[in-house]
Amino acid sequence: MAVSGTESGLPGTRLNSAQPADGASGGIKVNPTALRLAAGAAHDIAVALDAARVPEEPSYRAADKLRAQQFELGAALGDAAARWRKQLASVTEAVDLTSRNLTINADGHSATETAIASRMTEIGAHYH
């Protein structure tokens, strides 16, 4: 079943349609420059997230010292630091993957547009 632009939340866009609006793209216009900007922003977020790892080492050192003195807080702090490391690594990896995928898609769309323009120029040369 086709979804209208207003139903999909994207104006003028039809998803899963046998008769897409505004041409074969389904009405979706891809701007490689915008994809590259989004990729750069995602990369910046990944770098900032990676910098958030700074508190990890002091947390682990404090946890070790507290554990050595038989404080239960040491184990809790160690668990919290390990959970922080795992969650931060997961989010950082996801954002970095998003950045890489946006870049790959931008490059792919640019290459396709260049190939189409080149082929159209070749075809047009036969009609002049």
- Identity of the residue numbered 8: S
Q: What is the pLDDT of residue 56?
A: 77
Which residues does the chain have with pLDDT short of 50? 1-8, 10, 13-17
Please report, for the chain, the start and end positions of each structural domain, with discontinuous segments joined by +. Answer: 31-125
Residue 15: what are its φ and ψ, rounded to 5°?
-105, 145
Residue type, 80: A
Q: What are residue 96's DSSP bridge partners? A: none
Amino acid at 97: L
Are 85 and 91 a contacting pair, CB within 8 Å? Answer: no
Strand partners, 15: 3
- 3-class DSSP assignment, residue 20: coil
Which tens digits make up the pLDDT trace of 48-70? 998 887 777 888 889 899 989 99
Cα(34)–Cα(37) distance, integer angstroms: 5
Predicted pLDDT at 110? 92
Taking CA 96 as the corner, what is the angle to CA 88 and CA 36, rounded to the nearest 5 degrees? Answer: 145
- What is the pLDDT, as a whole number, of residue 51? 85
